[in-house]
Structure formats: structure tokens, C-alpha cells
Amino acid sequence: MERQLKQKKHVDFDLSEFSGNDRAEMAAMYEETLKDFTEGSIVSGKVLEVRGNEVLVDIGYKSEGVVPSVEFEDPASLKVGDKFDVLLAEIEDDNGMVILSKQKADEKIRWDSVLANYKEGSVISGVIKGRVRGGLIVDVNGIDAFLPGSQIDVMPVHNTDTYLNSKFDFKIIKLNSERRNIILSRRELIEERFKSKRKELLTTIESGQKRKGRVKNITDFGVFVDLDGLDGLLHITDMSWGRIRHPSEMVSVGDELEVVILDVDRDRERVSLGLKQMSENPWEAIEEKYPVGSRLRGKVVNLVPYGAFVEIEKGVEGLVHVSEISWTKRVAKASDVLAVGDEVDVAVLSINKEDQKIALGIRQTEENPWDTVQARYPVGSRVSGTVRNFTSYGAFIELEDGIDGMIHVSDMSWTRKVNHPSEVLEKGARVDAVVLEVDAQNNRISLGLKQVGEDPWQAIASSFKVGQIVTGKVSKIAAFGAFVEIGNGVDGLVHISQLSENRVEKVKDVIDVGDEVTARIVRIDKAERRIGLSIKAASMPDEEFVRQQDDLLEGLKPGDDMVDLAGAFDQAFGSQESGEEWRPGERHGERKDKDRDETEE
């Protein structure tokens, strides 16, 4: 709030020297002069004295004013008589002194100059002097202005340190004289200049030209390149002759590139660019450079579940399918045996120049062990291996690294029917076997476990006879009867009709696995390798057994719901999964690897 200066009781000069009329006139003139001094006004001052932290200044008023010495850039250089503008901050303080400010005077003068020469939309120069939250402080003509972070450049700025203490032109986008607030934009100036350059470029740019530009922005589908005022799109498919997953694998924001103009749409102001076109297409003479069968060395650049992509030269990649990685190992995923960055030897299997595809193989660079497997494992030879895995129809035996043989359940025992290989073998166990068949083409070796020993059925006739009383343990229970081990690993079948004199509904009602029983042999079928037993005939006298023998055999089929002895064996040990077993006669048939794939997973 302004208030006028009041006249003091005494003045700086003596009016008594003047006559009455003169004295009144001089007093009036002095009073009129004092009316020019108002708080907030800028007046001219002259240094009278420098004392301590204050500078005594004469502003032509009846009393001197005081300016703090800190408001001068170099207080020590001040001398009596120096003149400068000051702002009249306070007419009288508590001590009757006039308070002045040089700093506020300078600031007001600068603001008045800015307001007089600039307005919103004007261009002004300034030096970036510091950082604040949300942007930068710019010194324009000695006044602090604000430059928002979004207005620094057309591209996002992540590090503002490079802009500090630098001078630029700015556009005034907001000017508030009351708040003394100035907001600037450098971005708008750049965009305006780009717009002018863009129009000029669109008149001269043509397809096929080579131009330099700077990476402005990166997206999933490509890169926007600033061609000095005109943005062009470098699509990901035009970045490399090879395959890349993302443009950031090749370029970064700010990188300088030389590109080829592929297409210009002047109406829509769109330009398509190419980077790979700057170099020769490596696929042009691909068949001559890498003929089928040639061996190369490359680097694994990408892994997918079905294989590995191997770069054999810049921009040229081939696929090694999982099936072409190893002769012997069943590779489920390429990442199980390979890693990105591995250098590998590969062989060219096929080339599709039109689709830019090359099929490669790693195993073809090594000798196929199955080519010599017949020489190493001739039919009839005895081999040793480790039980690696079970299937419902047999066991796989590892003979050497990557070479397996298969023992079918039918080749595990001479004397008993094996339902599952776990009844005879254990995983990890070492076993001896005999090579029964070798199919190198389908990578299969058939082995036999029972063939290691002699067939005990050759001596069955001398060991067991019809009518003989035998004792053994129940080894297995079926709906139609019980199997009893009677010695030498030989099982006999007690049909349900031969368990008791009384009618038996369920086998487990009268007998269970592990029970020791006494029975009589009622039938021996050497051809079918079957022995029929009867518990109820065990207590008969021999003469009566001979007399009822035919009746006992008839009794093996008391009704339509029962089976005969041969049928009982067939039902007990027949195929559990019809069409799913790998029978000896179909080891190398049409199922091929399907059995192993389904059962080992």
C-alpha cells in the first residue's frame, strides 16, 4: 500500500533567509517535490557512504535511504558517488530511515522490460539454470521462468543434466504479470520448425533415396525415425534379413541410422523406411553358398519348444528340429540340451529360398550309432544293461548311452505269464538278456530275458505227472480260479470249480494269495505250457481219481458262464489292452515309436 512522504519539522535548507512571499513559495515547491516519493516507486540514488552491512544512498529526499549491501554483486567495489536505481520499499522505518532495495528495483525493471517487449506466443532466449520438480528453471533476461518437462523436447527426456547451463530459444506459452509467472516451451518451437522442414522434405524425398535419421521412438512393430523434421516408419520386417523378436534388439532411442526410402505417401505425410535394404540380401544366392549336405558352424540365437534357431551368417538362420538333435536321445525340448549362445556344428538338410527357410540337423554331423548296432549287438548274442523304464507290455533296457533294447513281457519267463514287467524286474537293476531281433531302420532292439536260461518245460514231463499230489503257495487270484506255484517257477491253475466239493461263488471266499495248498495235477498241456490242478481231488484215493479223471476234466466247465482250462489261462494272461501291446511279431510294425511315446511320457 502506497503512502506519501510527510514533511519533517525541519528541512535540509534554511527558509529564514527568504522574505515572506519567497519563503512561502519555496516551501510550496519543496512540498510538491516530496509528493513524487511513493512506496513501490523506482528512484535514482547516489552512494553517500558504505558502512558495515549497509549502503547509505541519497535519493533527493529530505533524509537518506539505506540499501543492504548483500543486494550488490560486489559490495567492496562500491564508492561514494556511484549512481543506480533503487526501489522505495519503505518511507520510514522505526528509526525514521528510508528503506530502499536495489534488488527489487532491478527485478521490477526487468519485468517491465519483458512485459513491454514480449507477450504470449513470443520467442525469447534463455539459459537453463536448474532443476525443479516437474521441469527446469530458465533465466530469461534475469527473470526465472518455468520449462515443464513435457515441453523440453519432442522426444521424452530421461536425463536433463545435458541441458543445464545451455542457452536455447523458447516460446512463451503463458505470461502472468500479476503473479510474475512465465511458462515456456521449447518443444513447440521444435515442432514448428519440423513442420516447416517436413513440408520442404515432402517435396524432395523420393523412393530409393538414402537418408540419415535419428531413432525417435520404438514400438513392438517397428521404429519411428526422425529424418530431420519428417518422421518415417521402419517396420520390424524391414530391419534385418534375419528374424528379430523386437526392434530394441537392434536399435535404441537416439541412435543415428542410414536408411532407404521405400515408399512416400505425400497426402498422408507418411514415409516407409528400410534398413536391411542397405545391405545385400543374403538369401539371393543361398543355395549356392550352402548346398544341401554341407556342414557349417553357427550360433544358437533362439529356442522354441520344437527346436532351435541357429544363425549361420548375419541375417540367415536355420531351424534344427528336436528330432534332428540326437540319433539316440529322445529330446522333448531343445532347451534340455541347448542354450542361447551355444556354438554348434550343423548340416544343411533342405532350403526353401522363397519362404527363406533352412532346415538344419545337428545329429547329421555325427556318426549314427544305429548304423553299426547290428555289428555290436548281433542276434543271439548275450548283452547286459540297466532297466530304464517300464511300459504296460515290457521293459526298456539301456545297453549304452542312447541305445535301448526292449524286453516284452512274453519274453520274461518260461514258466509263468507276466502281466507287468514290475513283477519280474526293478528299475535301475542290472540284467542279462539275449538279442532276439535288431531293426536299425526303426531304432529297435528286441531282447529276451527268459532266453538267458534253458526252457524248464523241456523237463516238465519228468518233474510233474497227471495225478501227482503237489504243494505250493497261491501266487495270484482271478475271478475264475487261483494260480499256485508248485516248484521250479511253474504255476498251475486251480479252476473255481476245483476249489471245493461245494459250490464256490467267489474264489476269495475259500482261498487267498499266500495261502499254502495241496492239490492234484489233473492236466498237463506241454504245447500250451499249462498245468491244471484240483484241490478237491487231492483227498481222493488214487484209484478213485483214475476212475473220475474224465469227470474232473468235464467239471472244469460246469456252466456257460465258466471257461475251460485253456480258456482260463487265456483269460488270465491274454492281452490287457488289445492292440496296445508290442508283441514280438509286431515289434517293427506300423506302431513304431508310438508305443514308446505314449508309455514313457
Buried b (16+ CB within 10 A) or exposed e, 41-52: ebbebebeebee
The pLDDT value given to residue 530: 82
pLDDT digits (tens, 9 = 90+) for 50-89: 888 888 888 877 777 888 888 887 887 888 888 888 878 7
Q: The C-alpha cell of 188 is what?
A: 513447440
| Phi, then psi, of 78 in degrees rounded to 5 | -70, 145
CATH pick for 291-365 out of 3.40.109.10, 3.10.580.10, 2.60.120.10, 2.40.50.140: 2.40.50.140
Q: Is there a contact between 429 and 397 (Cβ–Cβ < 8 Å)?
A: no
- Is the Cβ–Cβ distance between 421 and 406 less than 8 Å? no
pLDDT tens-digit series, residues 391-407? 989 999 998 887 889 99
CATH topology of domain 466-573: OB fold (Dihydrolipoamide Acetyltransferase, E2P) (2.40.50)
Do the beta carbons of residue 287 and residue 353 sit within 8 Å?
Answer: yes
**What are phi and psi for residue 380, nearest 5 degrees?**
95, -15
Nearest alpha-carbon partner for 424 in 377, 475, 470, 487: 475
CATH topology classification for 118-189? OB fold (Dihydrolipoamide Acetyltransferase, E2P) (2.40.50)
Q: How confident is the model at residue 233 (pLDDT cuts 50, 70, 90)?
A: very high
Residues 130 and 146 sit within 8 Å (Cβ to Cβ): no
Nearest to 180 by CA among 106, 107, 102, 87: 107
C-alpha cell at 127: 539459459
Query: DSSP of 295-337, one letter per residue?
Result: EEEEEEEEEETTEEEEEEETTEEEEEEGGGT-SSS--S-GGGT
Cα separations in angstroms, 270 against 134, 206, 217, 538: 33, 12, 15, 102
What is the distance of C-alpha 200 from the center of its chain? Answer: 44
Name, in order, each residue with C-beta under 8 angstroms of 28's C-beta and a sequence gap of 6 or more. Answer: none
How many angstroms separate the Cα of 376 from the Cα of each of 31, 403, 440, 452, 499?
130, 11, 12, 18, 52
C-alpha distances out from residue 492 to 346, 475, 568, Å: 59, 10, 11
Residue 282: pLDDT above 90?
Answer: no
As a CATH number, domain 205-278 is: 2.40.50.140
Query: What is the residue whose three cell numbers read 532276439?
Result: 436
Q: Which pLDDT score is estimated for 17? A: 54
> HSE on the CB side for 423, CA within 13 Å?
15
179 or 395: which leads in pLDDT:
395
CB 317 within 8 A of CB 301: yes
- Report which residue type is found at 469: I
pTM (predicted TM-score): 0.42
State pLDDT tens for residues 537-547: 888 888 888 87
Query: Residue 156 — pLDDT band, cuts 50, 70, 90?
Result: confident
Superfamily of domain 369-452, CATH level 4? Nucleic acid-binding proteins (2.40.50.140)
Q: How far apart are CA 495 and CA 403, in angstroms?
A: 44
pLDDT grade for 11, boundaries at 50, 70 and 90: very low
User: Tens digits of per-residue pLDDT, 341-352?
Assistant: 999 999 999 999
Distance of CA 346 to the CA centre of its chain: 26
Q: What is the pLDDT of residues 80-133, one digit of tens each?
A: 888 888 878 777 777 767 888 887 887 888 888 888 888 888 899 999 999 999
The better pLDDT of the pair 388, 461 is held by 388
Say whether pLDDT at 8 is over 90.
no
What gap in Å lies between CA 462 and CA 414, rounded to an integer? 17
**What pLDDT is stored for residue 23 in this prediction?**
57
Domain boundaries defined on the chain: 15-107, 118-189, 205-278, 291-365, 369-452, 466-573
DSSP-derived secondary structure for 85-116: EEEEEES--TTSPEEEEHHHHHHHHHHHHHHH
pLDDT at residue 36, as a whole number: 60
Cα–Cα distance between 555 and 532 in angstroms, integer?
Answer: 12
Look-up of cell digits 527485478: 107
Average pLDDT of the chain is 80
Say which residues have a Cβ less than 8 Å from residue 74's Cβ, sequence separation at least 6: none
The pLDDT of 413-431, averaged and rounded, is 86
- 13 CB-contact burial (10 Å; exposed 0-12 / middle 13-18 / buried 19+): exposed
pLDDT beyond 60 at 486: yes
Pairing of strands 490-495, 530-534: parallel
The span from the CA of 259 to the CA of 251, in Å, is 13
Give the model's pLDDT for residue 224.
93
* Cα distance between residue 373 and residue 172, in whole Å: 86
CB atoms closer than 10 angstroms to residue 534: 25
Domains 205-278 and 369-452 share a fold: yes
> What is the full DSSP assignment across 459-479?
GHHHH--TT-EEEEEEEEEET
The answer on pLDDT for 557 being more than 50 is no
Look at the block and give the residue holding cell 525493471.
Answer: 109
Q: Is the dihedral of CA 108, 114, 119, 122 positive or negative?
A: negative
**pLDDT confidence of 524, banded at 50, 70, 90?**
confident
Residue located via cell numbers 550352402: 290
pLDDT at residue 299, rounded to an integer: 93
Beta-carbon count within 10 A of 80 CB: 10
What's the rounded mean pLDDT across residues 557-582?
40
Q: Mean pLDDT across the stretch 376-381?
A: 90
User: Which segment of 94-103, 288-297, 555-564 scores lowest on mean pLDDT?
Assistant: 555-564
Distance CA 244, CA 236 (A): 8
pLDDT score recorded for residue 554: 59
What average pLDDT does the segment 521-530 reach?
81
Q: Are 145 and 151 in contact (CB under 8 A)?
A: no
Say if domain 15-107 classifies as CATH 2.40.50.140: yes
